[in-house]
Chains A and B, each alone.
Chain A
Amino acid sequence: MEAEIALTVDGTRRSLSVDTRTTVLDALREHLGATSPKKGCDHGQCGACTVLVDGRRVTTCLSLAVAHDGAEITTAEGMADGRELHPMQRSFLDHDGFQCGYCTPGQVCSAVGMLAEAEAGWPSAVTDDLTAPVELDEAEIRERMSGNLCRCGAYSNIVAAIRENVR
């Protein structure tokens, strides 16, 4: 069954007709040609499809597009301002925080979303004192980024890249 929806992707409002079965990820990749979010597992088990929806980091493979009518989506492509990279992307380059690059847009989006969560004072599974202000040390970053798998094993470089962006 088809449904008419609109998504704002990287600042541009796009109207499209989707099958109710179409996920946000497939709507982006197959309907809108926005291939920055990647399909690594299609079941919420790898994080490669992570984008920011209304500012929050989410996987898109388990979200139905029809249920996200009207959503504002920022992909890693949209984070860069033309040729000017987002500071997080610049740090990933500086620290070689990737190899094959397939998980990378998801890692970047997740990192940006994660920093906002920490800024808001959200604790994590490794936060000792749930009521104290969050200090983003390496253990905190690793725990908070664990939803983004990287088979090339760039984790240590990714953590170094993210640390550059911790205020």
Chain B
Amino acid sequence: MIPFDYRRATDAEAAVDLVHGHPGATFLGGGTNLVDRMKLGVSEPEMLVDVSRLPYDTVEPLPGGGVRIGSAVPNSDLAAHPLIREQYPVLSQALLAGASGQLRNLATTGGNLLQRTRCVYFQDVTTPCNKREPGSGCSARGGYTRQHAILGASQACVATHPSDMAVALAMLDATVQVQGPDGSRKIPVAELHRLPGDEPERDTVLGQADLITAVDLPELAMATRSTYRKVRDRASYAFALVSVAAALDVADGTVRQARIAFGGLAHKPWRAARAEETLRGAPATEEAFRAAAEAELAEATPLADNAFKVPMSRNTLVSVLRDLA
């Protein structure tokens, strides 16, 4: 770890200014992924601007409906918040499926969104990685790819996004509030994370000095019966092989609307638009659910070690929808 300067920001504008003025600066939240990467030499910031004590630590109902989640709200508090448990159970479940109790007490909403892939090659500075060192090559291709992407990957990068929370947020059509050098703006969570393309070093559309201050959840009646299902190697405390966030609106045996997002399959939370489209107006039957899953996974391109993710994600989605129907 290289020596770095540490500043504690007093407000969002000051934090953004500090980072904006310094190309080697970055924001520090709970630290659970950033400090991890710094120890590995994967991230080498010269200055940390601590935003963990900024007053973005509340969960409030929005005046026009929906909920605003402060970016500094710890994952554990968010998962336990009555508004979330009652109105957005998928989000509570996704948070509770991530990491461990003591890490969720540290990790923040904003930090969870911005955590980086746990691809073993990205985390190992002795191996080439286009995400860590653009142009150096992708070690995962031809290597150990059990955890890697089957959707939306590029020649340059096959990493997956590790967050569970982000999968639920993408399914819920949440938006992030961003404070940047040019003021504030909103970005849908589904558009926050990028596919790798030929710039895998960029995980999100944010600029270096963009600070997430809040996440807004829209009012969504069908979310009260939403769910998150995570399949992993251990029964707990492990990253997803495959996960599904879903909500289903069924009337008289017919699907009016389905919302589906996959985790563990791509460089970003994978909103399953094709599956949703396939289900619209379809009978709420196992056959239809399977057809929807297969439609979404038709273009999956598995790697050497992760072909199982195709049937696993299909089966998991079918099983989740069966339970929701």
Sort chain A's interface into a size bin: 35 or more
| CB-CB under 8 A for A117 and B101, given A44-B32, A59-B106, A131-B86 | yes
Check: B163 CB closer than 8 A to any chain A CB. no
Contacts of A74-129 to chain B: CB distance below 8 A:
110, 113-114, 117, 120-125, 127
The answer to whether B102 and A50 have CB atoms under 8 Å apart is: yes
A166 to B: closest C-beta gap in Å: 16
Considering only CB atoms, which chain A residue lies closest to B34 in the complex?
A62
Chain B residues closer than 8 Å to A31, beta-carbon distance: none
The answer to whether A123 and B85 have CB atoms under 8 Å apart is: yes
Distance in angstroms between the alpha carbons of A124 and B100 in the assembled complex: 10
Distance in angstroms between the alpha carbons of A125 and B227 in the assembled complex: 11
Check: B105 CB closer than 8 A to any chain A CB. yes
Check: A135 CB closer than 8 A to any chain B CB. no
Query: Interface with A: B88-96, B215-223, B278-286, which one?
Result: B88-96
Distance in angstroms between the alpha carbons of A127 and B82 in the assembled complex: 14
The answer to whether B237 and A64 have CB atoms under 8 Å apart is: no
| CB-CB under 8 A for A57 and B102, given A23-B35, A146-B236 | yes
Q: Tell me which of B4, B35, B89 has the highest count of chain A C-beta atoms within 10 A of its own C-beta.
A: B35
Which residue of the partner chain, among B28, B39, B105, contacts A57 with CB atoms under 8 Å? B105
Distance in angstroms between the alpha carbons of A145 and B236 in the assembled complex: 9
As a 0/1 sequence over residues 61 to 77 of chain A, the CB contacts with chain B under 8 angstroms (1 = contact) are: 01110110000000000
Considering only CB atoms, which chain A residue lies closest to B81 in the complex?
A122
Considering only CB atoms, which chain B residue lies closest to A66 in the complex?
B6
The answer to whether B6 and A67 have CB atoms under 8 Å apart is: yes
The answer to whether B237 and A146 have CB atoms under 8 Å apart is: yes
The answer to whether B237 and A67 have CB atoms under 8 Å apart is: no
Which residue of the partner chain, among A58, A121, A124, contacts B105 with CB atoms under 8 Å? A58
Distance in angstroms between the alpha carbons of A146 and B237 in the assembled complex: 6
As a 0/1 sequence over residues 33 to 75 of chain A, the CB contacts with chain B under 8 angstroms (1 = contact) are: 0000000001110010010000011110011101100000000
The answer to whether B101 and A44 have CB atoms under 8 Å apart is: no
Chain A residues closer than 8 Å to B1, beta-carbon distance: 21
Which residue of the partner chain, among A58, A122, A125, contacts B97 with CB atoms under 8 Å? A125
The answer to whether A58 and B4 have CB atoms under 8 Å apart is: no
The answer to whether B35 and A59 have CB atoms under 8 Å apart is: no
Distance in angstroms between the alpha carbons of A50 and B82 in the assembled complex: 27
The answer to whether B103 and A59 have CB atoms under 8 Å apart is: yes
As a 0/1 sequence over residues 90 to 118 of chain B, the CB contacts with chain A under 8 angstroms (1 = contact) are: 00110011011111011000000000000
List residues of B whose CB falls within 8 A of some A CB.
1, 3-6, 8, 28, 30-32, 35-36, 38-39, 48, 50, 52, 76, 79-80, 82, 85-86, 89, 92-93, 96-97, 99-103, 105-106, 234-237
26 contacts between A and B (CB under 8 A): A1-B3, A20-B4, A20-B6, A21-B1, A43-B39, A44-B32, A50-B102, A57-B105, A58-B106, A62-B32, A62-B106, A64-B48, A66-B6, A67-B8, A110-B101, A117-B76, A123-B80, A123-B92, A124-B96, A125-B96, A125-B97, A130-B86, A143-B236, A146-B100, A146-B237, A147-B99
8 shortest interchain CB distances as A-B pairs: A147-B100, A146-B236, A122-B80, A125-B96, A130-B85, A146-B237, A20-B6, A62-B35
A1-B3, A123-B80, A123-B96 known, 12 other contacts, Cβ within 8 Å:
A1-B5, A47-B100, A59-B100, A62-B36, A62-B103, A63-B106, A66-B6, A67-B52, A113-B105, A131-B82, A146-B237, A148-B100
